[in-house]
Structure formats: C-alpha cells, structure tokens
Structure 1
Amino acid sequence: MTASMNSRPLIWECTNLAVAGVNVTISSVRREGPSYPILILHGFGSTKEDFVDIALAKAFSGASFVIYDTPGSGQSTSEKLDQLSIPFLVELAEEFLKSQRIRKFHLIGHSMGGLTALKLAQRHPDAVLSFVNMKGNLAPEDCFLSRQVLDHPSDNPEIFFRQFVERTRKSQEFGTAIYAAALQAKVKPEVVRPTFESMVHLSDTEDLLDIFISLPCSKMFMYGEQYNTLSYLSRLSRAGVELAEIPNSAHFIMYSNPVEMWRRIALFHAKGLLEGHSNQI
C-alpha cells in the first residue's frame, strides 16, 4: 500500500435523514478510497467506535469504509426512538447509502447489525459484494439477549434496561461483562423494547438461514468458540458459507479477540480478490 493511501483521513460527520417519516440525525465515520466501501453495521449496545479500529489494521490500509451509530445509540438521535425496529434500520441503511452515493459495497454486520445487514442484502442482492455476518440472527436460538423482553417483561423501559444490564453482567461468556459495563452510556432505554421485539419476531417467523444461504455474494459467518454448538453451522458449511470460529470469545468478538477478528475478515476479503471478485481492499 502506498503512503498516501495509509494517510487518508477519517471523516467524522452527522447526516440528517428522514426515515419512514421520522427525522433522524446519524453520526458516522468514514474513510474514502478507490475501492468499493465496506459498510459496517454495529449490534445492539454497540457504537461505531467499536469497529473504527479497521482504520488502524494494516490489512485494511487504504480501504474505504463507513460506520454509523443507529438512532438511540452513540451520537445518533431520532425524534421517535420507540419506532426503532429492524425494518426501520434497513430503511435507514438504504437512506444513508443513498445520501453517501454508495451503490455497491461490502457488508460487515454484528448481531442486530448482522440481522439488519441480512435484510438489506435480501432487498439489494446486486449491491452487496460480500457479507461478513458476525453472529447475526439466523434462527430462534440466536435471541439469547433479545428474547429477554418476553422472558422478563416490564412496562417501565428504564427498569427493564437496568435489570437487563445486571443479568448480562453476570453471564459466564467472554466479553459480556465489558459489554454490560458500557450499555447504559451507549444506548437509550426507549429503543430496547421495540428493537428486541422486532429481532425476536423476525427470528421466529422468517427463514433467515435460507435467506442468508441464498444470497449470491461471497459469505462468511463468524462466531466465538463458545457458540460452536449452534445448530445450523453444519448447514452453513454444506452450503459453502465460510465459517470463522474465533477462539477465546463468544458473542462480542470485537471485545474479546479483535486481532483475530480483523485477521479473518482480511483473509476473507483477500480470498475474494484472488477469486476475481471486485472487492479490493
């Protein structure tokens, strides 16, 4: 990579959009470059900063990328936080991409962001060049966090959120305590219920696994070693989806083993180059 590509500056900005009749302000970070951009969608309880280290990873020197906070997370806002849902987030992604004049892109999505990315790719299969699904929902068994909105119901969003944080903090999984420690600083309580209800509904009623397998782009499914008993891993493998099991991690790979996470993603993108895909990084 040339020095000029390595020194491309990060651009931090806010974009005002109207999504499904709701006004939102989206905080994002991006780096421009000659290649097709990588769109990174974070999960519930995360922000764009959880993935901005891509700018420092040598394997991605010069890569074009964009990451944004979803409304109610990080620095992004919405005039109607209770309207948040996966369909809303898909429409947000569409409007954001349109505002950035991005027509073709690579996808990386974690958890909620993986589910959003899946539905986005389903709607725009010709626009997605590759897809790294980081433990995004593909089956009902993936609702280990979101189903708590049904298993531990509360009419008070703040009480539910506070109790959710405490339950999560005590989990015996890699990275979960770190995740829980920052939740209340990163997320507005009003978005929890509608987001979780939407994730559970889609996971229980749609064949997300088949949608993922059917996407025409190259695909990787990434998961932590504590999730290597997921029932659908063998089906993904048989369908030709590349599996990336990350050691010493569970759901929150970016906290527990980010070095291996970025290494595997970089190898996946480089493999696409060798196979002749136009996904230069």
Structure 2
Amino acid sequence: MSHPARFTHENIPLNIDGVQLDLAVLHRTGPKAPILFLHGFGSTKEDYADITLQHAFDGHTFIAYDAPGCGETACTDLSRINIPLLVKTAQAVLKHFEIDKFHLVGHSMGGLTGLMLAHGEPQRVLSFVDIEGNIAPEDCFLSRQIHDHRREDDERFFHDFIERTRLASDPASALYAASLVHKVRTGAVRGIFESMVEFSDNGELMDKFLALPFPRQYMYGVTNSHLSYLGHIAAQGVQLACIPDCGHFPMYSNPVLMWQHIKALQDRA
C-alpha cells in the first residue's frame, strides 16, 4: 500500500565562501506563509518532519535541512563550520527556494543561527520561535564544554562529551546522546562550539534579540526555569513558552505542546 508523500527530500549543492555543501533538505510547498526550521547541535531536519502531521499547519510551505556538519549534509571543509557559515547557509537556502518573508523557528544552535539571520534582515521575518537558543553567556551549558573539558584530540573530546550527555539528568538527554555519533561529524564540533561561546559571550545577543521588531517567543523546558533573564525578556514583550516534563529538547519530551506554542505565536503574527 502506497502513501502520499508528506514532504519532498532532496539534496541541494551550495558553495558558501568556497565551502562546498551537498545540503540535505526536507520541504513542502503550500499557499500559506513559509516556515524555516533550524535544528540544534546534534539534531537533524527530522526534528521538524512531523509538522506534516500537525493539521494546524496545513497549507504552510516549510523548509528544514541538515546544517553543515550534521545529518545527511556533506561538507568539504568541516573546520570552516561556525555560526557565520550557518547563517550564510540559511540565506542561501531562502534564496534557492525564492522565499522573501517567512516564519522562523530555531532550536539551540539553530536558535542562535536564527537570531543572527533575523538581526541581519529583520524586515523578512514574520515571527521567531527561539527554542532555548543562545541569547546570554549562561546558555552555553553544552558548547562551553569545549573549554571547560578541554581535550587536544577532537575525537576524545566528542567521545567524552557524549558520555557526559548520556549521564546527564536533563529529560531526553540520554536519548539525544545515543544518536550524536551518527548525527554530527567530529571535525565540525570544535568550530561550532567555539563560535557559539564567542557569540554568546561577546555578540550582544540579548540586545539583538530584544530589538527584533516582530513577534518573538522564547520556548524553554521547565528544568531550565532558572534562566536569569526570563523575567527581563518577558517584560520586553517576548512571549514565554514553558514546556512541562521537558529540558532542552521539547521535540523529544513534549512535542505536542511544542507545536501548539509554535502555532500560537505564528497566529499572533
């Protein structure tokens, strides 16, 4: 028995500042406003594939892709991968699909990428759901391990990182850790983490986030309710979405509520 395709899966060749990519993409076209999804470190485009099962999003064009260094995307120079290259990749994807205005959803590394993308061209973004993306130095609980647990050998660092993550008490952390070795190229880890820490410490991310002129939502798991800036950003007009029974990974721990909150913000926009 055959089933209708939920989305199209294709590979797009891109050249980003001399780095050749064979970008693995999921997408669907429709008459409603496009949604660009950016996954987090150690995740893939499939984090968002179930949008096609959420009838509230019927008719929306959407795009999700594996970031360079992740998933099924091939990259000729893993050492060049950092946040600026990830932003340029997102810009190239939007250009390829001829998308002007769009809703933006980014998780963790994808939230930081999305913030820099939106900061550069705020007139194109309809709304932004930032799922525990970096906006302050305290957000580097994963990426800062590149400094706090320093290893000269990248394979050794990544192995130890996976073991620490597997044993962490955060909900879905063990599930996340189990697939890290399959979803991330070891050669991409250092550049991504060092870049995330640099931007979080010195990139004035909070100012950039609060200056965005469209509806914004900051989604976080209840185990991260201690984040010091939540009250501040709420007072500045950012919609907060606290996900119960959840840590850093709402798409694994509580996806139903994640989709509901995403739709609520996009409807507001």
* Shorter-chain TM-score tier: over 0.9
Q: Please report the TM-score for the alignment, with normalisation by the length of structure 2.
A: 0.97
2:232 is aligned, of 216, 231, 235, to: 235
Task: Confirm or deny: 8 A CA contact 2:218 2:238 kept in the other structure.
Answer: yes
User: Could you tell me whether the CA contact under 8 Å between 2:103 and 2:266 is conserved in 1?
Assistant: no
Alignment partner, residue 204 of structure 1 = 201
Count residues with an aligned counterpart: 266
The partner residue of 1:24 within 13, 21, 24 is 21
Q: Does residue 1:54 correspond to 2:48, yes or no? A: no
Tell me the alpha carbon deviations over residues 147-201 of structure 1, each in whole angstroms, 9 at most, x when there is no partner: 0000111121111111000000111111111100110011111110000000000
In structure 2, give the amino acid aligned to 1:205.
N
TM-score w.r.t. structure 1 length? 0.93
Equivalent-residue separation in structure 2 for 1:178 and 1:74 (angstroms): 16
Give the superposed CA RMSD: 1.0
Equivalent in 66, 71, 74 of residue 74 of structure 1: 71
Q: What is the rounded CA distance, in whole Å, between the counterparts of 2:168 and 2:101 in structure 1?
A: 39
Confirm or deny: 8 A CA contact 1:225 1:246 kept in the other structure. Answer: yes
Partner of 2:121: 124
Is 1:226 matched with 2:223? yes
Moved over 4 A (4+): none
> Deviations for 1:89-134, whole angstroms, at most 9, x for unmatched residues?
0011111111111111110000000000000000011111100000
The CA distance in 1 between the partners of 2:122 and 2:60, in whole Å, is 22
Cα distance in 2, alignment partners of residues 8 and 210 from structure 1 = 42
Q: In structure 2, what is the equivalent of residue 84 of structure 1?
A: 81
Instruction: Name the counterpart of 1:253.
Output: 250
Structure 1 Cα separation of the partners of residues 131 and 60 of structure 2: 20
Provide the C-alpha distance between the structure 2 equivalents of 1:57 and 1:243, rounded to a whole number of angstroms: 22
Equivalent residue, structure 2, for 1:270 = 267
Partner SS, residue 132 of structure 1: strand
CA distance in 2, matches of 1:249, 1:85: 28
Deviates more, 1:56-65 or 1:107-116: 56-65
- SS at structure 2 position matched to 1:64: strand
Sequence identity, in percent? 48
Give how far 1:8 is off: 7.6
Q: Secondary structure at the match of 1:59?
A: helix
Question: Deviation at 1:9?
Answer: 4.6
Residue 127 of structure 2 corresponds to residue 133 of structure 1: no
Query: Taking structure 1 as reference, are residues 8 and 158 closer, same or farther at Cα in structure 2, changes over 3 Å only?
Result: closer
Contact 1:8–1:62 under 8 Å retained in 2: no
